[in-house]
Amino acid sequence: MSFTEYTAPFAEFPVLQQRVLTVLKQLPEDVQADFLSDERFRVEIDNYVPGVGWSFLMPAPGIDGNGSRCVILRSKLADASEAFAHYVIAHEFAHAFLRNGGWGEITDIEQAADALAESWGFERPA
């Protein structure tokens, strides 16, 4: 599967670009296919400018009520430990996959994203 569209925004941050690609490649095939088949799924670099804010274009909710599945990652993940960066990236992808909802019996969205990321092999570092 080609993830070029999702890694292109990180061209100026090659370490982070590789980390995003590593996580994407380790996701289960059904998750990869879900992301690749949904035009609302995107991965972007945080472009916050103090005093100005952010500038992102996010798709409006669709007919089914689902909104954007845009994952925004900060460039400082390139400087974090690899394990921590992979965990954060997987956690954010889990939110996108779960459409910011629960997972199974887990209704808290943060706990659900953590549990799903862990099931993918990305445990929260101690």
- Tokens 């689902």 belong to 66
List pLDDT tens digits, range 10-35.
Answer: 999 999 999 999 999 999 999 999 99
Greater pLDDT, 9 or 50:
9
Can you list the positions of beta strands (E) in 16-109?
41-45, 69-73
Please answer whether residues 81 and 47 qualify as being in contact, where contact means their C-beta atoms are separated by less than 8 angstroms.
no
Strand partners, 49: 53
48, pLDDT greater than 80: no
d(CA 21, CA 56): 21
pLDDT of residue 1: 63
User: At 73, is the secondary structure helix, strand, or coil?
Assistant: strand
Q: Tell me what pLDDT residue 54 has.
A: 54
Angle, CA 71 vertex, CA 46 and CA 120 arms, to 5°: 130
Band (pLDDT 50/70/90 cuts) for residue 40 is confident
| pLDDT tens by residue, 55-96 | 555 555 556 656 668 899 999 999 999 999 999 999 999 999
Beta strands in 46-100 (DSSP E): 69-73
Confidence (pTM)? 0.88
